[in-house]
Structure 1
Amino acid sequence: MLETGNWLQTETDVISQTGFPLFGGQHVAILIATFFSGPALARITRQSPRQRTIVRSVLALILSAIGLTWYIYRFGVEHVRWVDGLPLELSDISLWLAVVALVTLQQSFFELSYYWGLSGASMAMLTPNLTGSIAEFPSVVFLAGHGLLVASIFYLVCSHEMRPRRNSWWGAFCLLNAYTVFVGLFDHLARTNYMYLRSKPAKISLLDFFGPWPWYLLVGDIAALLIFFVMGLPFLRREQVL
């Protein structure tokens, strides 16, 4: 659904394709809403368990609606092949992991959505891969889906309802590699390119700085390891203080 592979485009490309300049007024406003709405909601509802439950339920409902609507659009309007429209992108999985975490407060689902979803969706919001006008349906879904995913994870953390366990970054990294092997096997059998495992995107992307295939996969894996480790550090320090 919400592909995050084309993380880095030139500003000229983005403006010419979408009329949406990177870090222009619209982009900055969307980023502020994305990164501050979760903490703001957490502050408002921190003293009320009932309000927190309502907020989590609403966030889960909206995320689910975005995900399902996108699949309907892909198959019903764009008429993509079924093998090309499956929810196998990491952002798809992260969205549904976040939905389950919001509804159940289950630790493992939260940790995967934190490491997988927050890292990928944040980068996607900073350098959005929009292929049309910001008012077009795919662009709205891209921004709403990634933005709400980030806001939901921040809400769970800032409301103190969820937090990653010590060294959970390592488990998330190992599961990411296991999932990558599964998707890679599917890509090979179905001749698809989920997670850009068989080839890099046609447009300029962060992967272009990681070398040719298959080296960009290894470099990307190392980058994920470092990012996950850094994401776990704030919670490790807090445990040491406690």
Structure 2
Amino acid sequence: MDWFGHSNKAFEFEMFSRSHVVILSVFFLISIMIFLNRKKLADEKGRRTEITVAFSLILFEITNQVWMYVNDVWKVGQSMPLELCNIGLILSVILLLTRKKVVFELLFFIAILGATQAIVTPALTYDFPHFRFLHFFYAHMMVVWVTLYFTWVKGYSPTFRTAIKLIVFINLLLPVILFVNKRANGNYWFLRHKPESPSLFDLLGPYPWYIFSLESLLVVFSLIAWLIFRKWDKSQGERSHTH
């Protein structure tokens, strides 16, 4: 058995199994550490780390594409980087390399709402130590950590316009994803059917109504997340003025 785990039967992922719980623990622990060490991390020496993380994400994604091709599982309808979390990864790389606020605004809710949900309820086939397991969680956790880093360490913050920009961005991409799904018999963004593994989609009603439920939840949770981070940002500002 090699590191890439070619034997599928030995690597069947189970939600909230030991490996998943370990990953969740690491995810939340490092997220807390980013917050607690936000002042120490606010150093220009971190620029090298930002670049390194960006290139590690690129390398992991290229390796993933090669793995799918070599193992004859690459398909137009499911292997292109068109899922929201794939788009989040691309935005993370661009943000790390450019530090552009507009990129942060598009990434913020995709990471906080989408990538976090994927980590907690992953649509995943392979368990540890399969490469696809490592790729899935590294990519998704990094998307969230990069967002938290730019929020807590670099001082970027979402605004009401951030939520509006994301909703517009998603709805501009929607026709493209629908077109690709139809032409390639794909299921990007789960617009044709729900994930086969248990997920939050199961609570949103049958097809196609869960798509409208998702759209509504996107608006509601984006506004809630904006309010939470807005209050945190204000409280930080007030503290800095008192010192």
TM-score using structure 1 length: 0.82
What does residue range 176-187 of structure 1 map to in structure 2 within 5 Å?
Answer: 176-187=170-181
Instruction: Give 1:208 shift.
Output: 2.0
Are 2:66 and 1:44 aligned? Answer: no
Pick one of 217, 221, 229 that aligns with 2:215: 221
The residue number in structure 2 matching 1:8 is: none
Inter-CA distance 207–20: structure 2 relative to 1 (3 Å threshold): closer
Question: What residue number does 2:164 align with?
Answer: 170
Q: Which residue of 1 aligns with 2:123?
A: 129
My pick for the range that moved more, 220-229 or 37-46, is 37-46
Q: Which amino acid aligns with 1:158?
A: W
Cα 1:181–1:34 change in 2 (3 A) is farther
CA distance in 2, matches of 1:167, 1:22: 40
Distance 1:186 1:161, change over 3 A: same
What is the 5 A alignment of 1:5-44? 17-18=13-14, 21=17, 26-39=22-35, 42-44=38-40
Tell me which moved more, 81-90 or 108-117: 81-90
CA deviation vs aligned residue, 1:32-58 (integer Å, no higher than 9, x gap)? 344234335643221x22x13122112
Instruction: Supply the AA of the counterpart residue of 1:228.
Output: S
2:99 alignment counterpart: 105
The equivalent position to 1:202 in structure 2, one of 183, 196, 203, is 196
Select 2:109's aligned residue among 107, 115, 119.
115
State how far apart, in whole Å, the 2-side matches of 1:180 and 1:111 are: 18
Q: Quick one: distance in 2 between partners of 1:61 and 1:218?
A: 36
AA matched with 1:30: V
Q: Which residue of 2 aligns with 1:159?
A: 153
Question: Could you tell me how far 1:127 is from its partner in structure 2?
Answer: 2.4
Moved more, 59-68 or 24-33: 24-33
Number of residue pairs the alignment of both structures matches: 226
Identity of aligned residues (%): 21
Question: Any conservation in 2 of the 1:34–1:150 contact (CA below 8 Å)?
Answer: no
Q: Per the alignment, in what secondary structure is the counterpart of residue 73 of structure 2?
A: coil
Contact 1:20 1:133 in 2 (8 A): no
Does structure 1 retain, via aligned residues, the 8 Å contact 2:19–2:127? no
Query: Within 1, Cα distance between the matches of 2:90 and 2:124?
Result: 22
Deviation at 1:189, TM superposition (A): 2.1
How far apart are the structure 2 equivalents of 1:126 and 1:36?
16
Q: Is the 8 A contact 1:115 1:169 kept in 2?
A: yes
Pairwise CA distance, 1:188: 1.4
TM-score normalised over the length of structure 2: 0.82
**Aligned 8 A contact 2:109 2:222 in 1:** yes
Structure 1: where are the runs of 5+ without partners?
1-14
Deviation at 1:170, TM superposition (A): 1.4
What 5-or-longer segments of structure 2 have no aligned partner? 1-10, 239-243
